[in-house]
Structure 1
Amino acid sequence: MNEFWIVAGLALLPGFGNLAGGMVAEFGRTTPRLLNLALHAASGIVIGVVAIELIPEALNNIAGWWIALAFASGGLLYVGAEAMIDRMTVGKGRGSSAMWMIYVAVAVDLSGDGLMIGSGSAVATSLAVVLAAGQVLADFPEGYSVVANLREKNVPRRLRIAVSISFPLYCLGMALVAWFLLQNAPEEIKYVTLSAIAGLLSVAAVEEMLKEAHDAKADSRTSAIAFVAGFTLFALVSAGLATALGTERNLEQSSTSPSQVQQTENS
């Protein structure tokens, strides 16, 4: 039961990060340039999560071809979800279409965050802590961008705040679903799931966040610096948390079964 509350608490963090970013945009000053920089930083953080945590974790535990298939499946899942959103909003008014496009897209993204944290918790609590910290960093600028876009489209303030408040629920729900399904699952299934989420997040960062950043304002050298800063920030956070949680992580990794060790060596 204690682990249940740990998972629930970690899952709420990205949603609250999104909410905090939204409130900054709601009550502060927003500009297209700030939106561009925020989204580039968020993209760098997401790529950092994939490159530093998810893929290395999978490489240490399953064969490379499983990672390739799972990564492709996750990326295609995101593409399919995006196509479904496009069909749902065809023929509607511009304001309604744009609003629901943004809402559903962010809900899908936070659901992915929840799946990642729940899956990570099923592998190791320390991994879930690092992943949750990374997503808080990424979701803050994402929440900022959502509310900034809704303000630009003159969506009423009451509805903008309601939209922001609803986001933590998606992350919490999906994290608990993933944790319940995977906590007793074979280790290979857990790492295949992490690889699929890596594919989903990679496509989201490249196709969604950066596209939205380019639409907000033309890129500059500062945009590239913001991307690099986002990646660097997550790398530092990951390293710091890995040091702080190193004892637990090592104990959990040392429990790997001989068959898993043999599979890793074969891959």
Structure 2
Amino acid sequence: MDFLQVLALALLPAAGNFAGGVLAELIPTSRRTLSRALHVAAGIVVAVVDVELMPEALEGAAPWLVVLGFCLGGGTFILLDAAMERFSGGEKAAGPWLVYAAVFIDLFSDGLMIGVGSVVSFSLALVLAVGQVTADVPEGFAAIANFRDKGVARFKRLMLSASFVAATLLGASVGYWLLRDQARAIQLTALAFTAGLLILAAVEEMLGEAHEAAEDSRATAAFFVGGFALFTLVASYFEA
């Protein structure tokens, strides 16, 4: 499988995310809608970690390597969180940018999975790419709706949405060029590292922003479960 094919597959999740961002521009959004979209997105990210990344890593690498990679990923996100807060002048100002960072990291992991999967076979990379498309739509919606809620100009919002393409292409490039000739244990440790980034992105930032956008309720909790179920169903269907 050549590099151009890998990049083409990596564009699929980016297209789903961009479609979600465009949808947020076309329909009226409220703080309640934003909260629900963020709950769905967080559920999807947690499912990516629980259903795809950690089981795959634990299946083929030593547990201590997986745990080390996971902890390093979480530590990296904590440093990113602190840097964004300092750069933005406070936690409240940093909020939407950390949601952007969380979605960027998730899309990077999509590209990374596609890049690593392409080393095994084209069919595996295709399953990973198509399985992410539907899951990335609510993430794109939540990210752009969040910026819209914070008063960011439309042109800038659209440019931010388009910039997510770089995340999947970068992730796919890293997976293809840096990991394809490495030992499988190193490849799987990289997936665990990404999982550590993602789990904090979902729990600390996406859900945090969701609860600030609107008062939490049983209904919004159901959207989190729905996001988890959606990704699990899509991933399982295409794997089958």
Please confirm whether the aligned pair reaches a TM-score higher than 0.5, indicating the same fold: yes
The percentage of aligned residue pairs carrying the same residue is 48
Which residue of structure 1 aligns with residue 70 of structure 2? 71
TM-score by length of 1: 0.80
Which residue of structure 2 aligns with residue 198 of structure 1? 195
Q: Structure 1: how far apart are the matches of 2:207 and 2:97?
A: 19
Q: Tell me: CA distance 1:76–1:17, structure 2 relative to 1, closer, same or farther (3 Å).
A: same
User: How many residues in Structure 1 have an aligned counterpart in Structure 2?
Assistant: 239
Which residue of structure 2 aligns with residue 30 of structure 1? 29
Unpaired runs of 5+ residues, structure 2, are none
Q: Tell me: CA distance 1:187–1:208, structure 2 relative to 1, closer, same or farther (3 Å).
A: same
- Superposed, 1:19-58 pairs within 5 Å as 19-58=18-57
Contact 2:102 2:206 survives alignment (8 Å): no
Q: Tell me: CA distance 1:71–1:127, structure 2 relative to 1, closer, same or farther (3 Å).
A: farther
Q: Does 1:165 align with 2:162?
A: yes
Moved more, 226-235 or 154-163: 154-163
Amino acid aligned to 1:188: A
Q: Structure 1: how far apart are the matches of 2:62 and 2:137?
A: 34
Q: What's the RMSD between the two structures over aligned residues?
A: 2.4
Q: Structure 1: how far apart are the matches of 2:101 and 2:69?
A: 24
Contact 2:21 2:161 survives alignment (8 Å): yes
Contact 1:49 1:131 survives alignment (8 Å): no
Amino acid aligned to 1:69: L
TM-score by length of 2: 0.88
- Superposed, 1:81-92 pairs within 5 Å as 81-90=80-89
Report the secondary structure of 1:60's partner residue: helix
Q: Tell me: CA distance 1:108–1:51, structure 2 relative to 1, closer, same or farther (3 Å).
A: closer
Cα deviations by residue, 1:76-109 (Å, 9 ceiling, x for unpaired): 1111112221222228xx6xx6675555554444
- Superposed, 1:174-185 pairs within 5 Å as 174-185=171-182
Q: How far off is 1:178 after superposition?
A: 2.4
Q: Tell me: CA distance 1:46–1:113, structure 2 relative to 1, closer, same or farther (3 Å).
A: same
Which residue of structure 1 aligns with residue 226 of structure 2? 229
Report the secondary structure of 2:2's partner residue: helix
Which residue of structure 1 aligns with residue 208 of structure 2? 211
Q: Does 1:142 align with 2:132?
A: no
Q: Tell me: CA distance 1:114–1:80, structure 2 relative to 1, closer, same or farther (3 Å).
A: farther
Aligned partner of 2:183 among 177, 183, 186: 186
Q: Tell me: CA distance 1:150–1:178, structure 2 relative to 1, closer, same or farther (3 Å).
A: same
Cα deviations by residue, 1:215-240 (Å, 9 ceiling, x for unpaired): 11111111121111111122211221
Q: Structure 1: how far apart are the matches of 2:5 and 2:79?
A: 32
Cα deviations by residue, 1:164-206 (Å, 9 ceiling, x for unpaired): 1222122212321221111111111111111111111111111
**Which has more radius of gyration?**
1
Which residue of structure 1 aligns with residue 152 of structure 2? 155
Contact 1:119 1:193 survives alignment (8 Å): no
Report the secondary structure of 1:155's partner residue: coil
Amino acid aligned to 2:57: A
Q: Structure 2: how far apart are the matches of 1:195 and 1:105?
A: 16
Unpaired runs of 5+ residues, structure 1, are 244-267
